[in-house]
Amino acid sequence: MTKQQGRACNSDFKPASGLSNPHLQTLWPFLFRHQPRMALRRERLELADGDFIDLDWYVPPVAVNTKGLCILLHGLEGDSQSHYIPALMQKLAMQGWRTLLMHFRGCGGEHNRLARGYHSGDTADFNEVLMQLLQREQPSRTAAIGFSLGGNVLLKYLGEQGSQTSLNAAVAVSVPFELAAGADRLACGFSRIYQWWLIRSLQRKLYDKFSRHLSAGECPLPLRELKQQKTFYQFDNTITAPLHGFADVHDYYTQSSSRQYLPDIRCSTLILHALDDPFLSPIAIPADSELSTSTRLEISTHGGHVGFVGGTFRQPEYWLDSRICQYLAD
């Protein structure tokens, strides 16, 4: 699978008239995108540490000639119903890909067994799932697509693996390349709404997990103090870092950010990002000199966070689906 040489370039994305605002781009598909009805088959993979990962396989209504396996990785607190997943799975299947969504630990609708969960730099779980699937499925070729947190995991994984990766192609969308910069951006202005919504979701999940399914003593701080963690810096310092073996939030952000791994990527990779992404300041977007020759970074002026809504206000078009499918078809 031959791709373009590594470089940063301008995207051809054009926002729908009236929807160029970054928050409208971000929220429109989340609130208004029609989700196609689709059949999914749930599979549970057991992990070596005694935990599990839930996979959702797309079951197309008509059998297609498959040419490979495509794994999708969702964003923070996402799942197979996230607005960027269902239609893309269908379109990839029409291209001949067997598609599945890998849920990070605890994101498939059921709490995972261990106290630890998932985080932005957790490449070990993806690697373990990928190795199991490759051994069992023996696909002709393999691709992966990561969104937001899932995109950071994917890029970090590709950099860690270098030329040893088993993936033939990859796409990463709206990646928080520098986690500290992302935490800073989400603590400012209207972006604090996204921070509040995501942290509230994490708090509710953790409270239920440690109060009903595990011992409250396994939580890094008293459950009554969960709601006091109102920013990502606070939450990641008191919860994410200690649960996953990091010294503190700074250690977690430093080790888990994908930007430092970009030069070592050897898999054909497309990165899609918008300058107005409300989850990340433009200063954290990698420069051309940071990209390997296997990587193409397409930057658009507008697009928000996993938005990229084109077309018209009355007839929106979801550009991400077509661009990703085009890339994987080349």
Active-site positions? 148, 277, 305
| Cα–Cα distance list, 231 to 77, 102, 104, 282 (Å) | 16, 27, 22, 21
Residue pair 50/114 in contact (Cβ under 8 Å)? The answer is yes
Interatomic CA distance for residues 210 and 219, integer angstroms = 7
Q: For residue 46, give the amino acid letter.
A: E
Interatomic CA distance for residues 35 and 74, integer angstroms = 16
Cα 286 to chain center, whole Å? 18
Residue pair 47/53 in contact (Cβ under 8 Å)? The answer is yes
Interatomic CA distance for residues 245 and 249, integer angstroms = 11
Residue pair 299/276 in contact (Cβ under 8 Å)? The answer is no
> Quick one: how many helices (H) and strands (E) in the chain?
10, 11
Give residues with Cβ within 8 angstroms of 78, minimum separation 6.
85, 107, 147, 148, 149, 150
Determine how β-strand 295-300 pairs with β-strand 7-10: parallel
Q: What is the DSSP letter of 65?
A: -
* Residues in the chain, overall count: 330
